A = this chain, B = another copy of it.
């Protein structure tokens, strides 16, 4: 996805959120550096995920941490665990419902909007989110591919969300596919890493567990290992969770890809061609 002007204030707000999580006194330094990088890198046609990777990299460096979200991420996993019995009940109904709960988990992405994203928000609003159903529902087409396919590669997004992902991963294994799950190599925003994947036994559910190989919002394809790249090329289905994966994969020719996400911002919703602030399962063939 190309960067949209709206991404700029949103990104800056998120940087300030990070400063507040770690050291409020560094807000001035954070905003000064972020402005400088954006002034240099914002241009029509720049890739949003690449620009934001540069900005966050600098902010993490200023804050002297490789994971400003470490404490709040724990709360996300806790909230998701708390909801798990309820979530399992819904997921048991079928494939579509399992996709839906995994998308509901995608709201756990705090720092960029005041109104949503916190673990408390998920706990409070979970049933409303589920009641909204899928505003874009390509689950039937996704199932068709799964019935015939052999290789599935699944890119995760946030912590907390990954707890619900395990249910979808198990269901994917009901089809006769080889399932590769890819988590983040290094902590970035609220994204799940190997630590989270192992915590929730994804190494046992999936046939193969890999990482993105580097530090990036979404995926930096230059950091991906050769074996993950080969998987992507051969995959009968790629499943990409969350908006940052859309921002990255929409710049590639990999297909078919099913994007499973909450459409939490207007530029992502517009470029994806889905309504704003809804649960969407959109397949690009």
Contact = CB atoms under 8 A, between A and B. Distances in A.
Nearest to A14: B9
Contacts of A10: 9
A27 B9 contact: no
A141 B196 CA distance: 59
Given A35-B35, A35-B38, A39-B39, A30 B5 contact: yes
Contact of A39 (B9, B28, B35): B35
Interface in A25-44: 27-28, 30-32, 35-36, 38-39, 42-44
Contacts of A5: 16, 19, 27-28, 30-31
A47 to B, nearest CB: 15
Contacts of A6: 16
A8 B19 CA distance: 14
Nearest to A16: B5
A43 B27 CA distance: 11
A6 B43 CA distance: 23
Interface string A137-162: 00000000000000000000000000
Residue in A4, A5, A27, A44 with the greatest tally of chain B CB atoms within 10 Å = A5
Q: How large is the interface on A (under 10, 10 to 19, 20 to 34, 35 or more residues)?
A: 20 to 34
Interface string A39-53: 100111000000000
A177 interface: no
A44 B16 contact: no
A171 interface: no
Contacts of A27: 4-5
Given A9-B16, A16-B5, A32 B42 contact: yes
A82 B84 CA distance: 51
A15 to B, nearest CB: 9
Residue in A4, A12, A28 with the greatest tally of chain B CB atoms within 10 Å = A12
A16 B5 CA distance: 8
29 contacts: A4-B27, A5-B16, A5-B19, A5-B27, A5-B28, A5-B30, A5-B31, A6-B16, A8-B9, A8-B12, A8-B31, A8-B35, A9-B9, A9-B10, A9-B12, A9-B13, A9-B16, A12-B12, A28-B44, A31-B42, A32-B42, A32-B43, A35-B35, A35-B38, A35-B39, A35-B42, A36-B39, A38-B39, A39-B39
Interface of A: 4-6, 8-10, 12-13, 16, 19, 27-28, 30-32, 35-36, 38-39, 42-44
Query: 10 shortest A-B CB distances, which residue pairs?
Result: A39-B39, A9-B9, A5-B31, A9-B12, A5-B27, A9-B13, A35-B39, A28-B44, A8-B31, A35-B38
